[in-house]
């Protein structure tokens, strides 16, 4: 069984992650909707790793969007 959570970053962007209950190897599996996944020894550690992965990818997406926006704003104005 999985528990799903939503992370909302400072820009208002949302992403989901899931953490499973302990498996037969006493591990907690986690995954994000950005494609990250892993294994942890505790539920809390799995949550933390999933959130950390999402925060990193969400920040990278924000920086990419900001760079695109800056290119648009920095185009020289031309008068006709």
Residue at 19 is within a domain: yes
79 falls within a domain: no
Give the 3-state secondary structure of the chain: CEEEEEEECCCCCEEEEEEECCCCCCCEEEEECCCCEEEECCHHHHHHHHHHHHHHHHHHHHHHHHHHHHHHHCCCCCCC
Domain that residue 60 falls in: 2-73
Give the model's pLDDT for residue 60. 76
In the prediction, which pLDDT does 1 show? 85
Query: How many independent structural domains does the chain possess?
Result: 1
Taking the chain (80 residues) in runs of 10, the rounded mean pLDDT of each run is 90 92 96 95 97 88 69 61
Question: pTM score > 0.85 for this model?
Answer: no
Q: Is residue 78 part of a domain?
A: no
Give the pLDDT score at 43. Answer: 97
């Amino acid at each position: 069984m999985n528990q799903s959570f939503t992370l909302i970053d400072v820009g208002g962007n949302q992403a989901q992650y899931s953490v499973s209950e302990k498996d037969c190897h006493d591990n907690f599996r986690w995954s994000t909707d950005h494609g990250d996944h892993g294994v942890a020894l505790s539920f809390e550690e799995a949550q933390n790793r999933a959130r950390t992965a999402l925060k990193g990818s969400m920040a990278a997406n924000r920086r990419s969007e900001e760079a695109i926006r800056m290119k648009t704003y920095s185009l020289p104005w031309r008068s006709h």
